[in-house]
Chains A and B, each alone.
Chain A
Amino acid sequence: MQLKKLTVAAALVAGAATAGEIAPGDVVFTEDGAIEISLSGAPGVAANAPEIMDKGAGNCIACHQITALSDIPFHGEVGPSLDGAGSRWTEAELRGLVANAKMTFEGSVMPSFFKVDGFNRPGDAYTGNAAQEPLEPLLTAQQIEDVVAFLLMQKDQ
């Protein structure tokens, strides 16, 4: 289920983004849902990824298994194993997947980690109350780069 034609107008909104950082609304996806350039303008730091992917803001492990993090308990079964992700996907594709997996897999249950609008009844984190607008993305630009750097290291054995 690859999402075909997708054009995101790069409207230049003056956001909270720091120099070199792309705001969630300005991200440009390729037709296949990849993002060609670093969202933070800086390289990712793979060493930061495990915490993000555990109970941190990503909680990727809730849905995915990954051998590299087998010291963390309770890996979920909702998504596929991330082992070998760095062999299956390019850096740009992984960035697109983590930022907004729905651009690659239409209708995916995987949350969009770098998206701030278009939600139904967004909440204020896990309080159950209405969100304070504008929303923050689930992961920052740099956190996405960190996770992508880590996933790229997951090569087929």
Chain B
Amino acid sequence: AVAFSAPALADENASLVVNGEIEMVTETDAPAHLEGVLGDKIRSGWTFRARETQALQLDDFDNPGMIFVDQAAEQWDTVEGSEGKSCASCHDDVETAMAGVRATYPKWNDQAEEVRTLVMQINDCRENQMGAEPLKYTDGKMTAMEALISVQSRGMPVDVAIDGPAQSTWEQGKELYYTRFGQLDLSCANCHEDNFDNMIRADHLSQGQVNGFPVYRLKNTKLNNSHARFKGCIRDTRAETFSPGSDEFVALELYVASRGNGLSVEAPSVRN
């Protein structure tokens, strides 16, 4: 074999313990619905990153994503909108109120009769509880709030429901996952299922899991929502993308999240 200069590879045996106390499951048995398409194990994107990138997630003081979480914690207590309320007015303490919430989203909402992402739920509270303007789907303030809520579930296993009323949305997401898009004619599965662990140019392909979202990317030095990542991946196939918040991306998020059922909620994770 010829030695081509390759980026520093991940330490596959490393384990992720955040702040010396939160033990993350970064590899676990694949959920039954995957029927072995990823082999027996699913892996967090963290296991594919270079050592230096992995290290940034070990401690909140080193994790650049935590700055945004702190900003959202202030936002939690900030009154906005015509009703004179903040998130805290109704939910009190974010740590108690939001523990475990991220792990089950996207999730079916009975009253609205729709599958809701965390972003949709936050905007619903803004509009209908606070009388505030909804935020743009990938607005920095929104992504930070998503991260704050996710942090309250760190270390808990992702556990999104795919049956019952959510099933048709899940099926739609699955179909999108296997659809080839763009002039390069590639599906999510072509890269993240057929080729995970392979290098594509300088990128070490992961399984494209969303358990770490929102993700702090060293590339754009901010928190990124999963729909922004989907958009980037579809754009890279030379395709016309879908928009963040579109029905297609909501369905895709549910499906992709379900591929990670059993991995720990890791947000805010750090990626390149």
**A interface, CB within 8 angstroms of B:** 59, 61-63, 65, 67, 70, 73-78, 109, 111-112, 119-131, 135, 138
Contact = CB atoms under 8 A, between A and B. Distances in A.
Interface residues of B, number: 30
B4 to A, nearest CB: 5
A126 B180 contact: no
Contacts of B195: 77-78, 109
Contacts of A59: 201
Contact of A130 (B200, B231, B240): B240
Given A120-B239, A121-B240, A125-B238, A63 B183 contact: no
Contact of A111 (B7, B179, B184): B184
Given A111-B185, A122-B239, A74 B5 contact: yes
B199 A76 contact: yes
B50 to A, nearest CB: 13
Given A128-B241, A130-B240, A138 B235 contact: no
Nearest to A118: B185
Interface centre among B186, B234, B235 (most CB of A within 10 A): B235
B126 to A, nearest CB: 27
Contacts of B7: 74
A128 B235 CA distance: 5
Top 4 nearest A-B pairs by Cβ distance? A128-B235, A77-B198, A74-B202, A62-B201
A111 B183 contact: yes
B112 interface: no
Interface centre among A70, A74, A127, A138 (most CB of B within 10 A): A74
Interface centre among A63, A126, A131, A135 (most CB of B within 10 A): A126
B11 interface: no
Interface centre among B2, B231, B238 (most CB of A within 10 A): B238
B6 A123 contact: no
Contacts of B5: 73-74
Contact of A122 (B200, B236, B240): B240
Given A109-B195, A122-B183, A123-B235, A128 B240 contact: yes
Nearest to A63: B200
B194 interface: yes
Contact of B198 (A76, A111, A129): A76
A109 B200 contact: no
28 contacts: A61-B201, A65-B4, A67-B2, A73-B4, A73-B5, A74-B201, A75-B4, A77-B200, A78-B195, A78-B199, A109-B186, A109-B194, A111-B183, A111-B186, A119-B183, A119-B185, A120-B180, A121-B182, A122-B239, A122-B240, A123-B183, A123-B239, A123-B240, A127-B235, A128-B234, A128-B241, A131-B238, A138-B184
Nearest to B237: A123
Nearest to A102: B185
Given A123-B183, A131-B238, 17 more contacts: A62-B200, A63-B200, A73-B202, A74-B6, A76-B198, A109-B190, A121-B181, A122-B238, A125-B238, A126-B236, A126-B238, A128-B231, A128-B241, A130-B240, A135-B183, A138-B183, A138-B184
A128 to B, nearest CB: 4
Contact of B182 (A78, A109, A123): A123
A112 B240 contact: no
Contact of A70 (B2, B231, B237): B2
Nearest to A124: B240
A67 B5 CA distance: 12
Interface in B158-201: 179-186, 190, 194-195, 198-201
Contacts of B198: 76-78
